[in-house]
């Protein structure tokens, strides 16, 4: 069992205080957006045996187990994070596995550098995600019913939005959502900036269901993504609740601290709320234009007090243990690799004492006993 020394990524949207508060350290004044736990080449966790990527590369079957290697290859297929959003992330979607493979092969064939700002597919993998709230956590997930979106837009009283309102009323669901998102993202930028400014002022004035979009507009003035965001469901997670984000589902995180787990991929198609490249034709090919009721996931009781967040993906499986004072020791030994992350209290994992924000990697088959008082998240794979 290896204690992990993890990198914190200072993305501009990160909260300067949420991760330091969890760790019990002093803020630096800089944003601290994500703490990465895993073997992602961009920032692999460090152990006493080298980086976790080096440890796994040296003996993949010993570290990951034969079943995981047979299914996912000689790599850790997930990345676990602490994610602290102080302002909205970009509005985005992720491809499914077939789309990712085809897109990656196409860009490789055309010689688009992986580091190019207009490159869409950094790898050949999909990127399903799950975020579990540690604090109240705001996000956007999936399209609203077109009639509900029309009602929200119409309530702003902005004349330049009326054509979108009419489309949302007149067209079938898929066509309505596709045509309005296309129109928003391809509109004249100066005209759209004026529309966004009017809409933002109305959101400020109206509050209530418009408040999240007023906040988005404050961070991204004039961005077409502000209007695109109003087509999506606003979701507010309470601590312990989670949200799964599958392929083609437009989404954005707005504010809050959570535990996030995802398949190991960097493939993102952006819709707005970003100065980065937005490839509208490719985006429209990937987005699933269907209204959804964003299901809030709550953990389901498993054996030995494990609480499992069930998802349809195999690359990761996230669960937690809430350990009461005076509770028993739990044997977490598995034939698959694990990362154990403490988010509350004081927990003993093997020979390691863990406090909030600290984690260990458990190789496949290694004895893993956990005790103490607090909360431990367990990340592994489904095989």
Span 290-312, pLDDT tens digits: 999 888 999 999 888 999 999 99
**Per residue in 111-169, pLDDT tens?**
999 999 999 999 999 999 999 999 999 999 999 999 999 999 999 999 999 999 999 99
Q: Is the pLDDT of residue 35 over 90?
A: yes
Q: Is the pLDDT of residue 242 over 90?
A: yes
User: How far apart, in whole angstroms, are the C-alpha atoms of residue 184 and residue 173?
Assistant: 17
User: How far apart, in whole angstroms, are the C-alpha atoms of residue 238 and residue 241?
Assistant: 6
Q: Is the pLDDT of residue 255 over 90?
A: yes
Rg for the chain (alpha carbons), in Å?
A: 22
| Nearest one of 287, 245, 315, 277 to 107, comparing CA atoms | 277
Hey, is 19 helix, strand or coil?
helix
From the candidates 270, 317, 320, 378, give the one annotated as an active-site residue: 270
User: How far apart, in whole angstroms, are the C-alpha atoms of residue 223 and residue 228?
Assistant: 9
User: How far apart, in whole angstroms, are the C-alpha atoms of residue 308 and residue 33?
Assistant: 25
Q: Is the pLDDT of residue 73 over 90?
A: yes
CA 21 from chain centre, in angstroms, equals: 21
What pLDDT, on the 0 to 100 scale, is given for residue 293? 87
Instruction: List Cα–Cα distances, 301 to 121, 122, 309, in angstroms.
Output: 37, 37, 9
Q: What integer best gives the mean pLDDT of the chain?
A: 96
Which residues are within 8 A (CB) of 103 and not within 5 positions of it... i.e. 6 or more apart?
A: 95, 120, 121, 267, 282
User: Quick check: is 270 catalytic?
Assistant: yes
Q: Is the pLDDT of residue 170 over 90?
A: yes
């Amino acid at each position: 069992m290896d204690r992990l020394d993890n990198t914190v990524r200072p993305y501009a949207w990160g909260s300067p205080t949420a991760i330091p508060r969890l760790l019990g350290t002093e803020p630096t004044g800089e944003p601290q957006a994500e703490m990465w736990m895993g073997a992602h080449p961009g920032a692999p966790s460090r152990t006493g045996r080298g980086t976790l990527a080096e440890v796994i590369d040296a003996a993949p079957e010993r570290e990951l187990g034969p079943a995981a290697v047979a299914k996912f290859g000689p790599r850790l297929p997930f990345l676990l994070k602490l994610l602290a959003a102080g302002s909205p992330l970009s509005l985005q979607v992720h491809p499914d596995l077939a789309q990712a493979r085809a897109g990656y092969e196409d860009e490789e064939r055309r010689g688009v550098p992986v580091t190019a700002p207009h490159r869409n597919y950094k790898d050949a993998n999909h990127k399903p995600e799950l975020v579990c709230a540690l604090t109240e956590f705001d996000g956007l997930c999936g399209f609203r019913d077109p009639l509900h979106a029309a009602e929200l837009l119409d309530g702003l009283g902005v004349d330049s939005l009326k054509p979108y309102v009419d489309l949302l009323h007149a067209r079938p669901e898929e066509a309505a959502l596709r045509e309005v998102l296309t129109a928003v993202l391809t509109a004249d930028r100066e005209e759209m900036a004026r529309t966004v400014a009017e809409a933002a002022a109305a959101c400020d004035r109206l509050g209530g269901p418009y408040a999240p979009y007023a906040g988005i507009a404050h961070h991204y003035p004039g961005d077409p993504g502000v209007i695109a965001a109003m087509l999506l469901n606003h979701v507010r997670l309470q601590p312990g609740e989670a949200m799964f984000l599958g392929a083609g589902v437009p989404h954005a995180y707005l504010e809050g601290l959570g535990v996030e787990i995802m398949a190991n991929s960097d493939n993102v198609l952006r819709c707005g709320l970003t100065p980065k490249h937005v490839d509208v034709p490719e985006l429209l090919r990937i987005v699933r234009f269907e209204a959804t009721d964003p299901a809030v996931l709550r953990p389901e009781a498993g054996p030995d007090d494990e609480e499992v967040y069930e998802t349809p993906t195999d690359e990761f499986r996230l669960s937690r243990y809430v350990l009461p004072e005076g509770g028993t020791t739990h044997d977490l030994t598995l034939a698959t690799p694990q990362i154990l992350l403490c988010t509350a209290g004081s927990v003993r994992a093997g020979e390691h004492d863990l406090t909030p924000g600290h984690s260990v990697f458990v190789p496949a088959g290694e004895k893993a006993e956990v005790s103490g008082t607090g909360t431990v998240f367990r990340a592994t794979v489904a095989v």
